[in-house]
Structure 1
Amino acid sequence: MSLMARTEHALARHFEAACGSGAPPRLVEAMRHAVFSGGARIRPQLCMAVAVACGDTQPELTDAAAVALELMHCASLVHDDLPAFDDADIRRGQPTVHKAFSEPLALLAGDALIVMAYRVMLQAAGGHHQRLALLMDNLTRGVGLPAGIVAGQAWECESAADLSQYQRAKTGALFVSATCAGAISSGSDPAPWSLLGESLGEAYQVADDIRDVMVDADSLGKPAGQDVLHARPSAARALGLEGAIAHFQRLIANAAASIPACACRDMVRQWGQREAERLVPPALCEQARRKQAAGARTAPQLRLVLP
């Protein structure tokens, strides 16, 4: 079974089990819309890939940890799309939750998905109480303060933000949680896997910045040009397109080099390379070079602190 197929199967199974019976039907449908309207499932696949590299000694716990990560990610997207933030009409090519179900139900759906993430892990823990405690702590670090995804979104509300700090929080933190969760669920030390998550997480945000400038809304599955519209920190704005692409490629190289020695090192590296090419295809890089050569200008507005 591929990592994607394993992810989708685990999501469907754990979502239905955690919903139970008797919940408000429209709330459940809003939650289902947020989770099952598509998505690359990068974070749960990354968790599973690391677990496999570490022996995957408790696959049920691995699946639950991976599902919890995706539920938390989906919750953040529901909230990010609300009028108070991006006021987005589409996500993954579908109407956003607040457009399809109303703002009150979108707020409640996001909140319910956060709670569901922890419930899924609790239901799958079995007798592995120590691993569960570590997984719970790991997820809270990726989501909360001082440097989780909530902090990342809050940096958008500040008058100034350090670009690298912003990217590590908004996107990188949950990637670190994903690599660490894969190790923890298999009873391995998560520390050696942290750098892989950091590098991939920052690379993913840089790729998102590039695509926000280069790709149209239909291809993105969400509104384009949002970084400029909302004056958000952006690698493409700070470094220019060519500079952002070069930074992205350095981060991918750093990620590959950071993978600890293990029997499945090549599998993890190849998975990361495929994701890199999906996010920023060579054709997009060439298009950026042509655009830069044609005289497109970007105005650096933020200081980038390279790791």
Structure 2
Amino acid sequence: MPLTERIEAAISCAIARARAGRAPRQLSAALDYATAPGGARIRPTILLSVAMACGDDRPDVSDAAASALELIHCASLVHDDLPCFDDADIRRGKPSVHRAFSEPLAVLAGDSLIVLAFEVLARQAITDPARAARLMTALAERTGMPGGICAGQGWESEPEVDLAAYHRSKTGALFIAATEMGAIAAGHDPDNWRDLGALIGEAFQVADDLRDALLDETTLGKPVGQDALHGRPNAVAKLGVDGASKRLSDILAGAIASIPSCPGEADLARMVRKTAERIVPNVPATAGRA
């Protein structure tokens, strides 16, 4: 089964379970709305690509990990768009969840998706308790404090911001989770895969800063100019467009070079290059090791 189909099937299964029974109709609809259609699904694609590079001996565990990671990502988008944070009206080319359903339901939808992500992983403990426990720990570390996406959002309230720590938490954390969880799902050591996730995350953040500065709302599918509007630290403000573009190419070269030796190394390098092309059109993914 293609990766996209695996990811969508796993997410659909999780959402269907959450909507079963006598669940509140509006909140149930908000969960579906927040997760589908789901954009590029870059993080679960990376996770499954790493799992496959490591042998993918338990695809059921890998699929659960991929869906859990994407549920956390979707929850973070719902919360990011709230009036207390970005106050964004548009997400993925349609009204953000709080605009479509109300602010209270958006808060509940984000919270429900977070809980659902860990439920998905917990269910894997029946057949593989060791891997399930390690997956839950990895996802929790990259979601909360001190270095997860919650910490990344928290940096925006600080009077002085450590740009590297901010980017590593706000954007890099879930990419690190993707590579670590892909390895764990296939029974491998996640430590060897941390650098790859960190570098992909850093590249994605720089690319996001460039998109925010250079693209229009129709092209991007969400409000633009948000970094400047909210006074957030970003690579374009610090390095300029040319400097940020050069930095992006350097990071991508380092990401490919960091891929650990494994049976699927060449395929994984191609996936990283393809991901680079998706996040920033016309920005070449500089090759490292093939």
Aligned to 1:304: none
Segment drifting more, 125-134 vs 96-105:
125-134
Q: Distance in 2 between matches of 1:48 and 1:38?
A: 16
- Residue of structure 1 equivalent to 2:19: 19
Show the counterpart of 2:158: 158
CA contact (8 A) 1:61 1:125 kept: no
2:221 corresponds to: 221
Number of corresponding residues: 285
For residues 2-49 of structure 1, the C-alpha deviation after alignment (integer angstroms, 9 at most, x for no partner) is: 222221122112221243321101001111111003311011111100
Residue pair 1:155, 1:166 contacting (<8 A) in 2 also? yes
SS at match of 2:126: coil
Partner of 1:28: 28
Q: 2:119: which partner in 1?
A: 119
Aligned partners of 2:125 and 2:133 also within 8 Å: no
Would the aligned equivalents of 1:30 and 1:106 in 2 still touch at CA under 8 Å?
Answer: yes
**Cα distance in 2 between the residues matched to 1:66 and 1:283:** 27
Task: State the partner residue of 1:6.
Answer: 6
Is the 1:62–1:182 contact (alpha carbons within 8 Å) kept by the matching residues of 2? yes
Contact 2:143 2:173 in 1 (8 A): yes
Q: CA deviation at 1:149?
A: 0.2
The equivalent residue for 1:40 is 40
CA RMSD of aligned residues (A): 1.4
Runs of 4+ deviating beyond 6 Å: none
Where structure 2 has 5 or more consecutive residues not aligned to the other structure, the ranges are 286-290
- Range with greater deviation from structure 2 (207-216 or 37-46): 37-46
CA distance 1:113–1:249, shift in 2 (3 Å) = same
SS in 1 for 2:71: helix
Contact 1:37 1:94 in 2 (8 A): no
- Tell me the distance in 1 between the aligned counterparts of 2:97 and 2:284: 30
| Equivalent AA in structure 1 for residue 111 of structure 2 | D
- 1:100 matched to 2:100? The reply is yes
Kindly indicate whether the alpha-carbon contact (under 8 Å) linking 2:15 and 2:31 is maintained by their aligned counterparts in 1: no
The aligned residue for residue 209 of structure 2 is 209
Structure-2 residue corresponding to 1:87: 87
- Alignment TM-score, normalising by the size of structure 1: 0.90
Look up the match of 1:266: 266
Q: Distance in 2 between matches of 1:212 and 1:78?
A: 18
Contact map agreement 1:53 1:264 (CA 8 A) in 2? yes
- The one-letter code of the counterpart of 2:47 is C
Greater shift in the superposed pair: 170-179 or 116-125: 116-125
Distance 2:271 2:21 in 1: 38
Structure 2 counterpart SS, 1:39: coil
Query: 1:70 maps to what in 2?
Result: 70
- Amino-acid identity (%): 52
